Every structure is written in structure tokens, then in C-alpha cells.
Amino acid sequence: MRTLLITGPGGSGRTTVAAATALGAAREGVKTLVLSADRTDTLGAALGVATGAVPVKAGPNLTAWRPDATAGFRDDLTAFQDRASTVLDLLGASRLDPEEVTPLPGAEELTLLRALRDAALAESADLHELLVVDLPAAPQALTLLALPEELRRYLRRLLPPERQAARALRPILGRLAGVPMPAEWLYETTARWDMELAAVEAVLADRRTAVRLVAEPGPAGADAVRDARLGLALRGLPVESLLANRVLPEERGGDWLAGLHTQQQKILGEWDDARTVVHLGRDPRGPDDLAALAVPGVNPALSPVEWPVEDRIAADGVLVWHLPLPGALRDELDLVRRGDELVISAGPFRRIVPLPSALRRCTVRGAALRDGELRVRFAPDPALWPRTR
């Protein structure tokens, strides 16, 4: 199953484009699932079919789903209280009733990640061929896309696999150490969370997963697109296409639109790879309006983001790691080597990435940013690199 993640600046028409993209693919015979986590049913308004916690048929080959964050959060909290009942009783804590539970901030994003996992599991049943995901606005979406990798890293630090493997010795270790050891349910919960996050991470890392950026051509849209491209590149996610949404047609009416049209055309000249979606003069509602938008189909020939290691030992005595970071500025770039990881900060974004195995036996000799690509030079460490005879 291919996954197309759709995001862009707030108010750029992401949900409408997601609905139009899904509808177009379905009409071409592709079994498509469109997924949104908005509290309000903007997806259903665009499709002309009410959507909710249960997937609904929105047309031939098209299913729409808007998971219920409240129900999911309530179920998770109830299950947690059940597993931690002994501890809660010892503390004299009063349990929360399901009826009084309301979702905390971020519940919608976590619900969307869980739905991504469920959709990936459904792939084995051959239910869908294309998953179109209506993500939040770009800044929130980039944080959301980083969440599975970061949470798994935190879990591994808090409860390393070797400690989990030794949990059968917990009672003995507890007596020897003289301190309480983590309860069995904590290990089980951690393992389950890690498995769920791994499933989401696998979807995001899949070579068939890509991002469609949606933005209105204007100064604010241009800045948002530049930041989004950089953040996505740092996560290793390819941009399938950039859609310039709500572009005024040439036959616009009224002089008061002339300035906006000129501004849009200027930005479109800078977005040489953008596909335009013309403004209908109204908010699209229903399949006919979505079809009239003429949103382009999914690009079938998309190259994944590669971070290759170039062997230049014979020529320069170094290995060069190439990391594409379009839009990165030298003054906003920072690198820190920490053990077998590289901490990369680019503008407002930060990621900790494991070094390829060959580079772990090297020392950093320098880095340069050229033409939107970061090139980090590594020299073999004589104490770790095998000698050639």
C-alpha cells in the first residue's frame, strides 16, 4: 500500500486537496482510504458524506475515516487504570470514570498515528492500495512525524531491551539491590508501545510513502514551504509534489484582484516545480466540485530520499556523508557527534540519527553546506579501522 501524507500551512486547503486526491485515485480504480483526525468534519463536508469513528463508503473504491480521539483516549486511560489497579489502590487513588474523561492536547495526533498503524495492518488483508492522510498544518505535522522515532528512542533509554530481557529475574534482583524493581505490567506496556510505534515508523520509512505539500502562492506560503521542505528532508521524507492552491484564473474579474494575481504569479515563478489548482470562486463541496479542481494524480515515479556515503579514502582519505537539506542556512545549522549518533539541528528542526556502520569507526573531520546538501567528512580512526596489508 502506498501512503500519501498531505500537509501545508494552516488554511491552505489541505483537507480539500486530500479529498480531491483520494477521489481522483478512486475514480481511476485504485482502492483508496482517506484519513483525517480533525475534530470537525471538514473532510465529510468536502466529500459530501459524513465521516466519523467508523470508516464509511464515500464512493466507488473510496473509504473515508475520521477516528474519534475522545473514544480512543478514554479506552487507553481505562486500560491503564486496569493494569495499574494494584498501585492505585495502594496509593488510595480514586479512579476516573469513562464518562468524565476528555482528551488532552495532542490526543488527535496520537489517534492519527494509531489509525496509520491500523491502516498498515489492514494492508495484509488487501483492503486498500492507497492511503491518503490529511495531516495537521505543517509545523504540527512535522512534530507528529517525528514522534514515533523520538518516543521509541526514549523508551529504549528508559527501559533498555537488555533490562526487559532480564525481567524474569526481577524478584531476585530486587532483593539483591534492596530497591523496588519495575512491575511486570510496565515491561508489557513498554513492549506494546514500542511495537505500535514501530508499526507507525515502518509506514513513514516505507519507500512508497511521500508527502504532498499544499500552499497558497504568497509570501507566507513561500516561507512555510521552504521550512516544510527542510523539515521533511531532515526526516528523510520525499516531497511527491507541491500544489499551489487557490490560484486566481487569468479571466479574473475586478481590478482589486490584480495585485493578488500579480503576487501569486511572482511566487509561482519561484516555485518552478509547483502544480497549480485554480480557485473555483467558492469552497468546494461534493464530488463534482472536487473533480473540477483538477488536482493532479499521484506521481508514480518518485525517488526516495537517499543519504549516501561516498568513499573518497583513496583520493582524499575521507568518507563523505551526503545529507540533502534544501533551504538550510549555514548560520542555522549545527552538528554534534555523540557516540554512534549525529545530532543535526537545521533551523527550527532537530533530529538524532544513527551513523552508518562504516562511519562509526571514523572521526568527524569537517562539514560543508553546498547547494542545499550537507556534506560531512569522516576520517577512519586508526584505532578502530582495520589495517590494509
Q: Is residue 157 pLDDT above 90, yes or no?
A: no
Supply the CATH number for residue 120's domain. Answer: 3.40.50.300
What whole-number distance in Å separates Cα of residue 308 and Cα of residue 319?
Answer: 10
- Together in a domain, 238 and 323: no
- The phi, psi pair for 266, rounded to 5°, reads -65, -45
- Together in a domain, 341 and 196: no
- Together in a domain, 183 and 222: yes
What whole-number distance in Å separates Cα of residue 49 and Cα of residue 64?
Answer: 9
Tally of residues, the chain: 389
- Together in a domain, 264 and 318: no
What whole-number distance in Å separates Cα of residue 341 and Cα of residue 335?
Answer: 10
Structural domain contains residue 389: no
What is the extent of the structural domain holding 346?
309-380
Structural domain contains residue 315: yes
Across 334-360, average pLDDT: 94
Residue that is last in its domain, among 248, 266, 292: 292
Residue that is last in its domain, among 233, 263, 292: 292
User: What is the DSSP pairing of strand 309-312 with strand 32-36?
Assistant: unpaired
Residue 383: the pLDDT is 82
Structural domain contains residue 238: yes
- Together in a domain, 155 and 215: yes
CB atoms within 10 A of CB 183: 15
Q: How confident is the model at residue 174 (pLDDT cuts 50, 70, 90)?
A: very low
Structural domain contains residue 8: yes
Q: Residue 220's closest CA among 16, 372, 12?
A: 12
Structural domain contains residue 228: yes
pTM for the whole thing? 0.85
217 and 242 Cβ atoms separated by less than 8 Å: no
Q: How confident is the model at residue 154 (pLDDT cuts 50, 70, 90)?
A: confident
User: What is the DSSP pairing of strand 318-324 with strand 309-312?
Assistant: antiparallel
Structural domain contains residue 278: yes
Question: Distances from the Cα of 270 to the Cαs of 79, 133, 223, 253, 290, in angstroms?
Answer: 52, 27, 12, 25, 27
Domain total in the chain: 2
- The phi, psi pair for 205, rounded to 5°, reads -85, -10
Residue 34: the pLDDT is 96
- Together in a domain, 62 and 154: yes
Residue that is last in its domain, among 248, 263, 292: 292
Structural domain contains residue 14: yes
SS3 58: strand
- Together in a domain, 214 and 175: yes
- Together in a domain, 123 and 224: yes
- Together in a domain, 129 and 46: yes
3 forms beta bridges with: 131, 209
Q: Is residue 169 pLDDT above 50, yes or no?
A: no
Task: List, in order, residues 6 or more apart from 202 with CB less than 8 Å away.
Answer: 120
What whole-number distance in Å separates Cα of residue 373 and Cα of residue 360?
Answer: 21
What whole-number distance in Å separates Cα of residue 248 and Cα of residue 30?
Answer: 31
Give pLDDT tens digits for 48-59.
999 988 899 999
Q: How confident is the model at residue 118 (pLDDT cuts 50, 70, 90)?
A: confident
7 and 211 Cβ atoms separated by less than 8 Å: yes
Structural domain contains residue 173: yes
- Together in a domain, 248 and 343: no
Supply the CATH number for residue 330's domain. Answer: 2.60.40.790
What whole-number distance in Å separates Cα of residue 7 and Cα of residue 16?
Answer: 11
- Average pLDDT over the chain reads 84
